[in-house]
Chain A
């Protein structure tokens, strides 16, 4: 089967701005009985919170990445039938009545995953197997952290604060080649080794895990672009503030703090020939 990407993407349909405009749930059309492989090579982790309209298609895309594949849906705070749909699609469903919190589902899924390759995506992200397979292929080829090679919308005069944070983190990591790539963005895939080095807990704070991965010498590479585009779709702000933006920037600051702790106050950059003693 060719791993080449299709020439064009269908526009991402998965993240409507408001509940009202969401499409009604489409029944999953599965020809073969979808079941998780008993000894999976690839575990696909799909956190989901009220994603009934998209979860079936998200699972269908995930299912096709590898013949030996398990799909793990971490449903949390869902009251719209997400759990039932996921179960009918043959996914292993871990269900929590309460919301786990932003990115916490990744840790829960990684905890129970049995595969050698862990692919992370999202319940509202409908992607074909073709879009997801390059991440799996990269990890099976020796990459430890296979990132989405998407830097966010950069062709505008002022960057989105989250996009800026990702770029600056890579600059301070001395990996400007990674531009705006980050473990914050899905899809991405991790090797079993990466999970052992990072620990599944850390995956809830992706930028911190990311800094760890780079500093521990794991092979971190952008492997394939999935323009997840409006990942931070415009939503009503909470008292003029965007809590997600605050959270992601706080994650990045924590990641920078870790980096500075490990590499020193200048994050490993030299001081040139600066003679600081000249001025007191």
Chain B
């Protein structure tokens, strides 16, 4: 088996103290012909990154899925895995400890929504930061495109969920906010893609430009990244809509989570207005613009 990675040595399926079942391989890319799905070992993908990869996993009571998530993450050969357990009351801690490589940050009292991302970023050392949630098992081949986009020179690699969206009438409040924020930032090309959604990857430069503490308000981090002219791009499509765990707080119209994230978008818009970052809209509604628009509407 060849490994062209310069920075880290191959470690195939040895990261775990207990080897689990072999991971699902149906959706992996045909990168290697010598795959041994029945060997009982975790499949490794041998990513050929020039930069080092840190993976940050936020989890809240995810004992069911956390180990599987870690298994897929190991296949990416990260230099570090940081698991932030945010107010976990179940056995998530024990599950996270099964992965020897993982650094586990345990906050018994919840630190609040998305604070885990900021904690993880603050502790990380890698050049590429991949952000994941502990409730969603995404096969490694689908994850790879995000760090790969950063490795290729991008700063912010986003999940493109546009192809999965229904009609606008069925969009939730958060999705509407995301598209609006991108349009007033002059980035309609990003559609509804946002740092708010996982998976996404950031470059070290992006983390330093945005500031770790701002990652806990992801829409604001998103707006800052674009206004600071970081290279923000879509890097792949992972269906997080059907996989997202349904909780009491995140279902139904006007739920607590939607309100929190709407508030985050308000904060992002506040930042944008304070910096005058509304691309091409400033002054478009003054008296003279209103006259010109009236003339144009009249075909004059």
A-B contact pairs, 17 of them (CB 8 A): A49-B297, A98-B291, A99-B294, A101-B288, A101-B289, A102-B291, A176-B254, A246-B284, A248-B285, A250-B284, A256-B269, A259-B266, A267-B262, A272-B256, A273-B111, A273-B113, A280-B212
How many Å lie between the Cα of A43 and that of B118 in the bound state? 56
Residues in B whose Cβ lies below 8 Å from that of A241: 280
The residues of B with any CB-CB pair to A shorter than 8 Å are: 110-115, 118-119, 121-122, 165-169, 173, 176-177, 179-180, 183-184, 188, 212-213, 215-216, 253-254, 256, 259-260, 262-267, 269-270, 273, 278, 280-285, 287-300
Q: Is B269 in contact with A260, judged by CB distance below 8 angstroms? A: yes
A253 at the interface (CB under 8 A from B): yes
How many Å lie between the Cα of A274 and that of B299 in the bound state? 52
Known A155-B167, A269-B262; contact A279-B291, beta-carbon cutoff 8 A:
no
Known A157-B165, A266-B263; contact A101-B115, beta-carbon cutoff 8 A:
no
Tell me, rounded to whole Å, the shortest Cβ–Cβ distance linking A19 to chain B. 6
Known A154-B167, A164-B180, A235-B297; contact A278-B115, beta-carbon cutoff 8 A:
yes
Residues in B whose Cβ lies below 8 Å from that of A155: 167-169
Q: A248-279 interface mask toward B, CB cutoff 8 Å, 1 = contact, 0 = none?
A: 11110110110110000111111111111011
How many Å lie between the Cα of A250 and that of B179 in the bound state? 16
Q: Which range contains the number of A residues in contact with the other chain?
A: 35 or more
How many Å lie between the Cα of A24 and that of B273 in the bound state? 47
Q: Is A204 in contact with B290, judged by CB distance below 8 angstroms? A: yes
Tell me, rounded to whole Å, the shortest Cβ–Cβ distance linking A59 to chain B. 19
A199 at the interface (CB under 8 A from B): no
Tell me, rounded to whole Å, the shortest Cβ–Cβ distance linking A101 to chain B. 3
Residues in B whose Cβ lies below 8 Å from that of A171: 173, 176-177, 262
Q: Is A246 in contact with B122, judged by CB distance below 8 angstroms? A: no
Q: Is A274 in contact with B296, judged by CB distance below 8 angstroms? A: no
Contact of B285 among A99, A156, A247 (CB under 8 A): A247
Q: A90-112 interface mask toward B, CB cutoff 8 Å, 1 = contact, 0 = none?
A: 00000000111111100000000
The residues of A with any CB-CB pair to B shorter than 8 Å are: 18-19, 49-50, 76-77, 98-104, 154-159, 161, 163-165, 167-168, 171-172, 174, 176, 204-205, 235, 238, 241, 243-244, 246-251, 253-254, 256-257, 259-260, 265-276, 278-280
Tell me, rounded to whole Å, the shortest Cβ–Cβ distance linking B248 to chain A. 14
Q: Is A260 in contact with B295, judged by CB distance below 8 angstroms? A: no
Please classify the interface of chain B as helix (H, G, I), strand (E, B), loop, or mixed, using the class held by over half of its residues. helix
B114 and chain A: residue at smallest CB distance: A274
Contact of A274 among B165, B216, B270 (CB under 8 A): B216
Q: Is A253 in contact with B278, judged by CB distance below 8 angstroms? A: yes
Q: Is B168 in contact with A260, judged by CB distance below 8 angstroms? A: no
Known A172-B262, A247-B285; contact A158-B290, beta-carbon cutoff 8 A:
no
Contact of A251 among B183, B260, B269, B285 (CB under 8 A): B285
A168 and chain B: residue at smallest CB distance: B180
Tell me, rounded to whole Å, the shortest Cβ–Cβ distance linking B119 to chain A. 6
How many Å lie between the Cα of A163 and that of B168 in the bound state? 10
How many Å lie between the Cα of A247 and that of B295 in the bound state? 13
Contact of A244 among B216, B260, B293 (CB under 8 A): B293
Q: Is A243 in contact with B273, judged by CB distance below 8 angstroms? A: no
Q: Is A274 in contact with B282, judged by CB distance below 8 angstroms? A: no
Q: Is A101 in contact with B293, judged by CB distance below 8 angstroms? A: yes
How many Å lie between the Cα of A166 and that of B220 in the bound state? 21
Residues in B whose Cβ lies below 8 Å from that of A100: 290-291, 294
Q: Is B167 in contact with A266, judged by CB distance below 8 angstroms? A: no
Tell me, rounded to whole Å, the shortest Cβ–Cβ distance linking B267 to chain A. 5
A263 and chain B: residue at smallest CB distance: B266
New A-B pairs, 20, CB < 8 Å, besides A176-B253, A249-B184: A100-B291, A101-B293, A103-B290, A104-B294, A157-B167, A159-B179, A161-B188, A168-B176, A171-B173, A172-B266, A235-B297, A246-B280, A250-B283, A256-B269, A268-B263, A274-B113, A279-B115, A279-B212, A279-B213, A280-B212
How many Å lie between the Cα of A76 and that of B295 in the bound state? 10
Known A253-B281, A273-B110, A278-B119; contact A244-B297, beta-carbon cutoff 8 A:
yes
